[in-house]
Amino acid sequence: MPHALTRTRRARAAGRASAVATLAFVTLALATCVPALRAQSPFESLGMTIVGETPGGARVYVDPRTVIRRDGRVTATVFVRFNRPVPTKDGTMRSMRAIAHFECRARRMALAEDWTFSDFDGKDLLRYERSTVQGFERRYDPAVRGSLAALSLQHFCGEPRRG
């Protein structure tokens, strides 16, 4: 009788090992296939480059066709698509597009124009604003880690120098 119990335990152990191996294979297969099946956002399908992701999970994109580098400054069109709608006084904002100027040496950014949209695809315009001040007079501090400004500055200008 003890011999039969040992044989049964071995069979169960072999069955568990087989199940674990099968599960590992299925997990690996899904991990390689699922990213290919993930639907692209409208920004990605238009050829936008992902700059990064904010702590809230909103993806920041840049249109590589709009990037202009001159005299230590970069001008580009950046997009952000929020995961959760953001309430504003004009309505609920779900995505934003901005033409921004980045000054790499001073690590600052100025918005020339910005559009906010009430849909995720950037088609239903909620508000448009154009800066009336030329240059870097209208600026905000990009020190907030993971913000649109910080991610864009890091993408265009690299990491800030220490010391």
Are 129 and 113 within 8 A, CB to CB? yes
Q: What is the pLDDT of residue 138?
A: 53
Query: Higher model confidence: residue 80 or residue 12?
Result: 80
Per residue in 58-116, pLDDT tens? 899 999 999 999 988 899 999 999 888 889 898 999 999 999 988 888 888 888 899 99
Q: Which residue type sits at 161?
A: R
4 phi/psi in degrees, rounded to 5 = -65, -40
Per-residue pLDDT band for 36 (boundaries 50, 70, 90) equals very low
Query: What was the pLDDT predicted at 120?
Result: 84
Residue 33: predicted pLDDT = 42
Cα dist. 118→43, 79, 100, 114, 133 in Å? 15, 14, 21, 14, 26
- CA 16 to each of CA 8, 22, 24, 28, 84: distance values in angstroms, whole numbers, following the listed order: 12, 10, 12, 18, 42
Least confident of 41-45, 105-109, 146-150: 41-45
